[in-house]
Amino acid sequence: MRTIKIEKHTENLFKIIIWSLALFWLFVTLYPLFVMVINSLKTRSEYMISTMWALPKKATLNNYLVVLESGFMRSYFNSFIVTFFSLVFMISFSTLAAYGLSKLKFPGSKTVYAIFIAGMMIPIHITIIPIFKLTQSLHLYDSLAGLVGPYVASALPMAIFILKGFIDAVPGELNEAAEIDGADKFVTFRLIILPVLTPAISTVMIYNAVYYWGEFLYALVLTMSKSNRTINLGLWAFYGERGVDLTLIFSALAICSIPLIIVYAIFQERVINGMVAGAVKG
Amino acid sequence: MNFIGLRNWIELFGDVVFWKSLAHNFQLLFMAVIVQFSLGLFLALFITLKKGKGIDFLKISYFVPFILSTVFVGLLWGYIFAWDGMLNTFLDVLHLGGLKQDWLGDPKISLNSAIIATCWRNYPFFMILFQAAIVGIPQSHFEVAQIEGVSKIQMLFFVIIPGIKHTFMNAVLLIILGSLKYFDIIFVMTLGGTNHSAELMATYMYKSAFENLRMGYGSTIAMAMFLLMVIISIVFQIIRKRRDV
C-alpha cells in the first residue's frame, strides 16, 4: 500500500512539473506578443510612466494611424504583389514541369530532373552574389519584378520534387485512357493530373507563401529605394527611423504580425503541416 | 572581371574574422541543438501523449513563432533584450537586479542573446517533426512495453527515442546545414556585433560583398560555406549508412 501511495505521489509531482514547464513555455511564446499589443495602444507619455504589463488606461489607435501615414503600408502592399506573382509563376511552372518530367518522357528528362533535385542542395545564401550581378545586368535591380525571379527559382526544385512524387503515383493507364478518348496533353493535365495534385499544391503554396512573406536576404540585397521595400525591409527601416518611439514600433510590429496570426488561426493544422513538409523536403 | 587565381582563397585561410565567424556558426549550432531539440522533443511528447481540446490550442500556440518573419522576431526580441526592455524589467521585479545585462550591447553576450531569439523562432519546426515521428511509432511497441510493465521514463528511452531515431538524425542534418548558413535574426539583432563579435559566415559574406563591395571575396566566403556544407552532409550520410540509423 505504502509504495503505491508514494508512486502516486511522485506521479502527481511529475505531472505538475511537466504541466508547469509546458505552461511556462506557452507564456514565453505568447507573452511578448501580448506586451507588444497592449503597449501599441498606449500614448507615448503613458508608456513612459506605466509598467510594460499594465493595460492602457485609455486605449488609443493613434500609433497605428501614425504608422499607416508614414508610408509603411506601401511595403505591405509590395509584399502582397511580390508574394502573389511569385506564387502564381511558381505554381504554374512547377506543376507543368512536374507533369512533363513525370509523364512525358523526353530525351534528357532524367538529367533535367536531376539538375532540379541538385538545386535543392544549394542554399540561397551562396547564390546571392551572382543573382545580384545578374539582376543588375538585366536592369531589374531595385524593382519588385527583380525579386519575383529569384523567389520563383529558389522554390522550384522543392516544388517539383513534391509535385512529381504525386504525379508519379497516378497510374499511366488513366493517362492513356484519356488520350484514347481524344484528350490532348493539356486536357489530360487539367482533368486528370490537377485534381490529384490539389493537396500537394496546397502544401507547396502554404510553405512558399510563408517563405516569400518572410524573405529577407534577397529583398535586402536586390532592392534599395523606399518605394520598393517589402514588408520586412519596411519594418526594419521604420525601426531605424522611429526606433526611439517604442509605441510606434509596437504598432508597426502588430500591423505586421496580427493579420498573419489571424490567417494562421483560421488554417491551423494545414499551415503547420505545409510548412514542415515543405522544409523537410526542401 | 580579372582572374586573380587563388588569391582570395589564400586571404580567406589567413583571415581571422572568417575563422571567428566559423566558430560563431558552430556556437549557434551547438546552442540550437541543445535548446531546440530539448524544447522540441519535450513539447512534442507533451502534445502527443496528452489528449484534448486544450492540447490542440497549446500546439497551435507553440507553433506561432515559426510563422512570424525573422525581421519581426529580431525586432521583438531586440525589445525584450533592450536595457529597459522586458527581460531586465522582469529581473528587477524579481529582485534579481544584479543579473541585469546589456544583452545586446555587450559584445561578450550579444551573440548568445541573438541565438536565443533564433531558437525561440525555430524550435516549433522540430517540435512538429518529432511529433509526427512519435505518432508514427507503431502502437504495438507501446503495448508490448506496457505488458512488460515499464515506467514512463523507460518508455521514453526504450520505445520513443529509438522509434524516432531516423527522424532525429534527419533533424540533426537539417540543423547543421541551417546553422552553417544562418543569417537573418543574428543580422537583424546585432549586425554582426562590434568588432565582429557576433559575425557569422553569412553575415561576413554579406558585408564583404555589399558593404565593402568586394564581390570576389564575398563569393569566396560563399563557396567556402557551400563546400563545408557539402562535405559535412557527405560525411554525415556515410556515418549514417555505416551505423544504419
ipTM: 0.88
Give Cα B114 distance to the centre of its chain.
Answer: 11
A vs B, Cβ pairs < 8 A, gives: 139
- Per the prediction, chain A carries an average pLDDT of 87
Collect all residues with Cβ–Cβ distance below 8 Å to B147 and sequence separation of at least 6.
Answer: none
User: Can you name the CATH fold of A68-281?
Assistant: MetI-like fold (1.10.3720)
The most confident of A125-139, A170-184, B92-106, by mean pLDDT:
A125-139
A17 vs B: CB within 8 A? no
Q: Looking at the predicted structure, is the pLDDT value of residue A204 above 80?
A: yes
524516432: which residue's cell? B164
Q: Do A279 and B181 touch (CB under 8 A)?
A: no
Lowest mean pLDDT among B60-64, B91-95, B223-227: B91-95
SS3 track for chain B? CCCCCCHHHHHHHCCHHHHHHHHHHHHHHHHHHHHHHHHHHHHHHHHHHCCCHHHHHHHHHHHHHHHCCHHHHHHHHHHHCCCCCHHHHHHHHCCCHHHCCCCCCCCCCHHHHHHHHHHHHHHHHHHHHHHHHHHHCCHHHHHHHHHHCCCHHHHHHHHHHHHCHHHHHHHHHHHHHHHHCCCHHHHHHHCCCHHHCCCCHHHHHHHHHHHCCCHHHHHHHHHHHHHHHHHHHHHHHHHHHHHCC
B62 CB neighbours in chain A (<8 A) are 25-26, 29
Per-domain residue ranges for chain B?
Answer: 7-243
Give the model confidence (pLDDT) of A87-127 as tens digits.
999 999 999 999 989 888 788 888 999 998 888 888 888 89
Angle at A249 between CA A246 and CA A251, to 5 degrees: 115
Q: Please give the DSSP secondary-structure letter assigned to residue A50.
A: S
For A23-49, what is the mean pLDDT? 89
For residue B85, is pLDDT > 90? no
Q: What is the pLDDT of residues B192-231, one digit of tens each?
A: 888 899 999 999 999 999 999 999 999 999 999 999 999 9
Nearest to A129 among B69, B70, B219 (CB): B219
Look at A246 and B79 and tell me if their CB atoms are within 8 Å. yes
Taking an 8 Å cut-off on Cβ atoms, the answer to whether B209 and A276 are in contact is no
CB B117, CB B189: distance < 8 Å: yes
Does A278 score more than 80 pLDDT?
no
Strand, helix or coil at A104? coil
Give the pLDDT band of residue A258 (cuts 50, 70, 90). very high
Least confident piece of the model among A51-60, A161-170, A252-261? A51-60
A240 interfacial to chain B (CB closer than 8 Å)? no
Å between B71 CA and nearest CA of chain A: 6
What confidence category does residue B120 fall into, taking pLDDT thresholds of 50, 70 and 90? very high
Distance CA B207, CA A118 (A): 28
In contact, A122 and A59? CB cutoff 8 Å? no
Interchain contact, A214 vs B209, CB within 8 Å: no
Domain boundaries, chain A: 2-60, 68-281
- pLDDT at position B136 is 86
Distance in Å, alpha carbon of B215 to nearest chain A alpha carbon: 7
Average pLDDT over chain B reads 89
**Which residues, 6 or more positions from B238, have their beta carbon under 8 angstroms from its beta carbon?**
none
pTM, full prediction: 0.89
Sign of the CA dihedral A14, A16, A22, A24? negative
Query: B202–A125: do the CB atoms touch at under 8 Å?
Result: yes
Q: List the CATH code of the domain at B7-243.
A: 1.10.3720.10
Answer whether residue B123 shows pLDDT above 90.
Answer: yes
With CB atoms and an 8 Å threshold, state whether A123 touches B177.
yes
Q: Which of residues 29-68 of A touch B (CB under 8 A)?
A: 29-30, 32-33, 35-36, 51-52
First-last CA distance in chain A: 55
Residues B104-120 have a mean pLDDT of 91
Question: Cα(A196)–Cα(A170) distance, rounded to whole angstroms?
Answer: 8
Residue B48 with chain A: CB contacts under 8 Å? none
Q: What is the dihedral of CA A197, A202, A208, A210, to 10 degrees?
A: -170
